[in-house]
Amino acid sequence: MRALVIGEALIDIVERAGEVDGDGGTEYVGGSPLNVAVGLARLGRDVDFLTHIGTDARGRRIADYVKASGARLVAGSTTAARTPTARAMLDEHGSARYEFDIDWQLSGTPEVRPPLVVHSGSIATALEPGCRAAAALVDTYRTSATVTFDPNVRPALITDDDSVRGRIDRLIERADVVKASDEDMRWIDADRSPEDIARTWLSLGPSIVAVTMGGRGAFAVCAAGEVRVPAFPVDVVDTVGAGDAFMTGLIDALWTLNLLGADRRRDLARISIETLTDVIRTAAMSSALTVAKAGAQLPDRTTRDEALKSAILG
């Protein structure tokens, strides 16, 4: 009954609009898959996290952060020559533009129990050479696990657009649950609507395709149809980690409903509109609570569930 999250961990160096040049920015532990691993652990889930960081000061900070959350860093995750960084430049609305310094590699099969759910995405599934190993591990664990995938496209790191689009398509075919942003979809195909792309992806094999749209909320498609959930009103500090919080809430909600694991694949495929609406609402609240704070500070279960209850009851 554990999750396995595969992907990058790094230090976000956040520079905010209006800060004096040369300040250097504020450093936060980050990385999309890391945020999902930590977010699930904060919700009380048992999580193994496979990544590629160094043993330098930044790497030790990441390792301590993962441990403090309750997640377990998988052996072999600390072999990088240096710990990756992402410089996030925030505009006056809190939206981020990134510059990366990352070497992404994986080797071998991690020594973990067969997981209930395996999650990957973002840089881990796009950047050579580690993306090939990440995709192979997803295939390996699909026999026991629900596969969740978030492409979380990082154009600043992509040198071959068509190659990355092909990798995204192949992972979607293997995934049970896909989450993407409307920005991801505009990069993937600017000539089609997110709704059209989501329905195409659904036809490739997933049971659920969810799409986040910032302040316009989120929608999701499944075999039973489409659901839409508005964004919860919140004062946005920054959007760092918003999509990762949504992904975390989505996985956790399906876990609570006992819809994860390869043996529950048919049940997941038959999810109802009413149930999916509740799932997406839970994910949206996780995201709302995260953007209300600086950095990717994903909520714990008590905070999220109380906020969700309050919002529903008015």
DSSP letter, residue 298: -
Q: What is the reported pLDDT for 69? A: 96
Which range is least confidently modeled, 102-116, 139-153, 263-277?
A: 102-116
Of residues 89, 15, 80, the one with CA closest to residue 51: 80
Q: What is the reported pLDDT for 300? A: 92
- The model's confidence at residue 139, banded by pLDDT at 50, 70 and 90, is very high
Mean pLDDT of the chain: 92
- The model's confidence at residue 111, banded by pLDDT at 50, 70 and 90, is confident
Alpha-carbon distance 167 to 192, whole Å? 19
Query: What is the pTM for the complete model shown?
Result: 0.93
| CATH 2.70.50.30 correct for 3-313 | no
Residue 212 near residue 179, CB atoms below 8 Å: yes
pLDDT in tens, 180-193: 999 999 999 999 99
pLDDT in tens, 251-294: 999 999 999 999 999 999 999 999 999 999 999 999 999 988 87
Phi, psi of 81 (to 5 degrees): -65, -35
Mean pLDDT of the region 87-103: 79
Q: What is the reported pLDDT for 19? A: 61
Alpha-carbon distance 308 to 277, whole Å? 13
Sign, CA dihedral 228-233-236-240, equals negative
DSSP letter, residue 125: G
Which residue type sits at 33?
P
Instruction: Give the distance from CA 257 to its chain's centroid.
Output: 20
151-178 per-residue burial string, b: 16 or more CB within 10 A, e: under 16: bbbbeebeeeeeebbebbeebbeebbbb
Alpha-carbon distance 180 to 212, whole Å? 6
